[in-house]
Amino acid sequence: MGKIIGKVIATEKNPSTIDEFYFWTNPKLILNPFDVVKVNHINNSISYGVIEEISHITDTASFLTNYISNDFGDVNALENTHRIGMNYVRAKVIGNTDNIYIPLLNNEQVHLADANEISHALGLANMKNPILCGYLEMYNGADAEDKITLPVNMDARFLIGPEGAHLNISGISGLAAKTSYAMFLLKSIQDKCIDNSLEIDNDVAFVLFNVKGKDLLALDEPNEFESREEKEETFALYDMLGMSKEPFKNVTYYYPYSNRNIWNTYQDKGALEDQQALDKAFLYKYEYEDDKDNLDLMFASLDDPTQSTDSIINYIISNQGGFGGLTDWEDFLEEVQKRCKAGMQGDKEISVASWRKFNRIIRKSIYRNPIFGRVHGEKETRINDALKNIKKNEVHVIDIAKLNEDMQGFVFGDAVRTIYDLQLGQFATDNENYTPPSKIVIFIDELNKYASSDAPKSSPILRQVLDIAERGRSLGIILFAAEQFRSAIHDRVTGNCSTHAYGRTNAIEIAKRDYSYIPSVYKNMMTRQKQGEYIIQNPVFRSLLNIKFPKPIYKQHKQ
């Protein structure tokens, strides 16, 4: 039956209900929030509860009484009256073996559960389409024989569709390890797809954006652990979880085109050339004739209440004025500069001041930037051309870390727009046998740059992200996004995510409305979580889960 740790207690002020119950326990027994307990219930059924709050009380009437009984505040005094103390625990009911949900009865024994019972209680047993999302450590701090380590799977249908989709990961910079956790999940998905062991489509591809240093620029290389012990410990966890100990497969890297004057990436030149020699790295460019239609993406963060910028972009795209016969970006910049001169003929509704504002922003990104130029040779490509031929199980990493924010938005928006058009069947292909992957997972860190709650409503990138969040599941476009503060993200994005991962954050953040439904003790735990821990919410779980995940198996560059 499991170790008996206490009995249900129902009082006039704190009765048992169909949702929660209380039990007393030994003051020295170590229990933790998220631990699962079981209680015998009527008709030989068993109810399960997850611990939410642990309190300690004594028979002391007041603080003053306790102070007086210690010889009026003598810290070395022995109490004249021995105080009777106990711990009492509030637990949330999460299930019953016979679906009986009348309140638990007073004085029923409370037991620790075994691994199978915990799995059943939390909704983890017999999971269909399992995708590993970490592991639980239950009864941490109890006797060694009582501790339980349990792999945790979620149903892929509620992560990458069709039942639910999209993942949001939040947590403060550095300590929360958002990127590492996202990569753990993506590796879990790729392992399953390569083995063809998913009952749903195994036809999944991945597009990842590298936004910090060299974070994701060695995904297909094995990790260089600091010690043999660390390596063995990490490998043992991967074995326990049943995952492969190899890094990502089928990885291709796309770097912003650079020259001797401007090096647009944090990747070392030698490492980049080594990747090119293995045909797994390309330099991307933007050509005027094919990419001018995406100029609106460069102004996504700009508030445009008069829509003057929108009018200028439409003027350019429709080839009005002198923009129709241009073939390169230098001529384009010259034409824009002409419009900045007083008295210049053009669209009467667009003022010279608007052209000058447009010119300042556009030159900051384009002028003398080698990314803007013609594609030459096999080692250069356009993001659009690369992604519209993406195949299942491929991982495409697009490096934008060293670009300015306007350019980062431009590249991100271009890639997302390409993927959206691909899944809508907008591209004609020379290869009649080519079929796009049924699902494409997009990962982006620092989502607040593109889908914050205060982003301009006219932002084309915000519109794209909202489109993916609200309609991407039906097209097979899945968003895995991360940010420091969840409360800063547009409600329609977080509201459409079926899975949420909460890493370590601060007290100001958990006071926001986004965390109002989370029990207070869990919120407080978010402020002191360790690296490698997340609190996970998913529709298939009957409660929030406090999970851990192993260190990355791929090479991580030291920042």
**372-398 tens-digit pLDDT:** 989 888 899 999 999 998 999 999 999
For position 497, what pLDDT does the model report?
93
* pLDDT value at residue 1: 63
Quick check: bond before 162 cis, omega within 30? Answer: yes
On the question of pLDDT at 143 being above 80, the answer is no
DSSP line for 493-549: HHTT-SEEEE----HHHHTSGGGTTS-HHHHHHHTSPPTTEEEEE-TT-SS-EEEE-
CATH 3.30.930.10 fits 165-221+249-285+379-548, yes or no: no
Give the C-alpha separation, 236 to 151, whole Å.
Answer: 13
Give tens-digit pLDDT for 34-89. 999 999 999 999 999 999 999 998 888 888 877 777 777 778 877 666 778 889 99
- pLDDT at position 348 is 67
pLDDT of 345 strictly over 70: no
Q: Which of 99-108, 164-173, 180-189 is the least confident region?
A: 164-173
Listed by start position, the domains of the chain span 4-113, 165-221+249-285+379-548, 288-366
Instruction: Report the amino acid identity of residue 410.
Output: F
120 phi, psi to nearest 5 deg: -65, -45
What value does the mean pLDDT take over residues 169-194?
Answer: 87
Q: Which residues make Cβ contacts (< 8 Å) with residue 248, sequence separation at least 6? A: 183, 186, 187, 190, 219, 220, 395, 554
pLDDT value of residue 80:
64
Average pLDDT, rounded, for the chain = 88
Predicted local confidence at residue 327, as pLDDT? 85
pTM: 0.89
- pLDDT recorded at residue 251: 96
Which CATH number describes the domain made up of 4-113? Answer: 2.40.30
**Long-range contacts of residues 351-359, Cβ cutoff 8 Å, at least 24 apart:** 351/308, 354/306, 354/308, 354/309, 354/311, 354/312, 355/312, 357/308, 357/309, 358/308, 358/309, 358/312
pLDDT tens digit sequence for 264-319: 899 999 999 999 999 999 999 999 888 888 888 887 777 766 778 888 888 888 88
pLDDT, position 343: 63
H or E element at residue 7: strand 4-8
Rounded Cα distance between 271 and 275, Å, is 6
How far apart CA 257 and CA 5 sit, in angstroms, is 64
- Pair type for strands 20-25 and 167-170: unpaired
List CB contacts of 487: < 8 A, sequence separation 6 or more. Answer: 453, 509, 512, 513, 514, 515
User: With 80 as the cut, is the pLDDT of residue 214 above it?
Assistant: yes
Parallel, antiparallel, or unpaired for β 380-381 and 167-170?
unpaired
**In the block, which residue shows the tokens 């015998």?**
40
Per the document, the length of the chain is 559
The residue behind tokens 């993001």 is 383
Question: Percent of the chain beyond pLDDT 70?
Answer: 96
pLDDT tier, 176 (very low <50, low <70, confident <90, very high otherwise): low
Distance CA 462, CA 180 (A): 25
Q: 210, 559 in Cβ contact below 8 A? A: no
**Residue 349 CA to its chain's centroid (Å):** 44
The closest of 56, 53, 52, 109 to 86, measured between CA atoms, is 56
Q: Is residue 163 a contact partner of residue 155, using CB atoms and an 8 Å limit? A: yes
- Residue 225's pLDDT band (boundaries 50, 70, 90)? confident
Backbone phi and psi for residue 115, each to the nearest 5 degrees, phi listed first: -60, -45
Please name the residues in contact with 360: beta carbons below 8 A apart, sequence gap of 6 or more. none
Beta bridge partners of 284: 256, 381
